Amino acid sequence: MPDMDILADQYLHYILVEKGLARKTITAYSRDIVRYLTFLKKNRIHGIEKTDTRIILQYLIHLRNQGLGTSSRARHLVTIRGFYAFLVQEKHIPKNHAKLVDLPKKHVMLPDVLSAAEVRNLLEAPVPKTPSGARDAAMLELLYAAGLRVSELIHLRLMDVNLEGCFLRVMGKGSKERIVPFGSYAKNKIDSYLETARPALLKGRISAYLFVARAGKPMTRQGFWKLLKKYAQKCGTLKRITPHTLRHSFATHLLEGGADLRTVQVMLGHVDISTTQIYTHVAQKHLREVHKKYHPRG
């Protein structure tokens, strides 16, 4: 049996090369495994074959005592499950003891969602008379129209956008590609931005990116956060608006309008439909409020 650290390196190489997971995900998995192996060594367990379900449960209790919340402990267990599954696959151990351990129960955290009117006010906040204003208007409109993550938005390239067909090619988490449609509002604002605003911002430079900032480089996440905060203050909403708020609103408004969960899952780029199901709670909450407000016996 190889050393535990060697097995961990083999697993991380496997999920990088074979699974194609994102670098950030690999880094998170690496931290989790190192923490688990450190726990084993401190408890004088120097071989992964000497672990069992009881040890894994002890580790989760240890994490709780260290102050880790439910979501963090669940993530650690998911990492350990994947590690053990790999070891079973490679015939280093006969059984995945982590499969017998249930994920810690967690409360469903409902994301903040804007109403259709609040979204409209936010999207109309930029003044498109200036090059940066036209760019900001197009960025906000597209973020909501396609339900993009902010990282996906700022890294969009010109070649990823089909204005005639009104769809985007998006590279999401784990280098997973998906095709997402967008509507006429976004198309019109992108057309306007590309016609005069983008050339004005580039000042003769060449860039492969759709949305450009200084020196033709893509906007940073921090830069987009700042402009979004500015427009949120301008439209006067009291809600805390983040880039993810528009993604949440996109999914919720689709479900409220009658879209099926599977379609929304594909457009959001969720691998697991359970991730998308959180939006059904938001939609159901909205429907209950509408029923209570408008039904004569509500």
Q: pLDDT tens digit string along 155-169?
A: 999 999 999 999 999
Whether the Cβ atoms of residue 153 and residue 221 lie closer than 8 Å to each other: no
Residue 242, pLDDT above cutoff 90 = no
Give the CA distances from residue 189 to residues 9, 74, 287, in Å, rounded to whole numbers and listed in that order: 48, 42, 32
pLDDT on residue 278: 61
Q: Using one digit for the tens of pLDDT, what is the confidence trace for 172-187?
A: 777 778 888 999 999 9
pLDDT on residue 70: 82
Average of per-residue pLDDT across 84-102: 89
Domain end among 42, 75, 100: 100
Half-sphere exposure of 150 (CA within 13 A, CB side): 17
pLDDT band at 286 (very low <50, low <70, confident <90, very high): low
Specify the DSSP class assigned to residue 3.
-
Is 279 designated active site? yes
Is 270 designated active site? yes
Residues 46 and 133 in one domain: no
Whether the Cβ atoms of residue 212 and residue 198 lie closer than 8 Å to each other: yes
Residues 260 and 139 in one domain: yes
Residues 125 and 222 in one domain: yes
In a domain, 111, yes or no: no
Active-site residue, from 31, 54, 226, 244: 244
In a domain, 273, yes or no: yes
Higher-scoring residue by pLDDT: 99, 256: 99
Q: How many domains does the chain have?
A: 2
In a domain, 140, yes or no: yes
pLDDT on residue 296: 59
Q: What are phi and psi of 161, to 5 degrees?
A: -110, 125
Q: Using one digit for the tens of pLDDT, what is the confidence trace for 187-204?
A: 999 999 999 999 999 999
In a domain, 74, yes or no: yes
Which tokens is 91 given? 């015939």
What is the overall mean pLDDT for the chain?
85
Q: How far apart are CA 116 and CA 2, in angstroms?
A: 57
pLDDT band at 282 (very low <50, low <70, confident <90, very high): low
Residues 42 and 96 in one domain: yes
Task: Output the CA angle 152-270-254, nearest 5 degrees.
Answer: 85
Whether the Cβ atoms of residue 213 and residue 219 lie closer than 8 Å to each other: yes
Residues 55 and 202 in one domain: no
In a domain, 270, yes or no: yes
pLDDT band at 258 (very low <50, low <70, confident <90, very high): confident
pLDDT on residue 33: 95
In a domain, 110, yes or no: no
Higher-scoring residue by pLDDT: 214, 292: 214
In a domain, 167, yes or no: yes
Active-site residue, from 73, 97, 135, 149: 149
Domain end among 67, 100, 133: 100
Residues 93 and 127 in one domain: no
Average of per-residue pLDDT across 200-216: 91
Is 240 designated active site? no
The parent domain of residue 16 ranges over 4-100
Active-site residue, from 97, 189, 247, 253: 247
Q: Tell me, what CATH number does 256's domain have?
A: 1.10.443.10
pLDDT on residue 139: 97
Residues 92 and 125 in one domain: no
Percent share of the chain, pLDDT over 70: 88
Domain end among 68, 100, 132: 100
Residues 260 and 167 in one domain: yes
Residue 22, pLDDT above cutoff 90 = no
pLDDT on residue 288: 57
Residues 82 and 163 in one domain: no
Q: Tell me, what CATH number does 27's domain have?
A: 1.10.150.130
Residues 137 and 253 in one domain: yes
Whether the Cβ atoms of residue 194 and residue 202 lie closer than 8 Å to each other: no
pLDDT on residue 34: 95
Residues 20 and 138 in one domain: no
Residues 87 and 128 in one domain: no
Whether the Cβ atoms of residue 185 and residue 116 lie closer than 8 Å to each other: no
In a domain, 105, yes or no: no
pLDDT on residue 176: 79
Active-site residue, from 173, 178, 221, 281: 173
Higher-scoring residue by pLDDT: 114, 263: 114
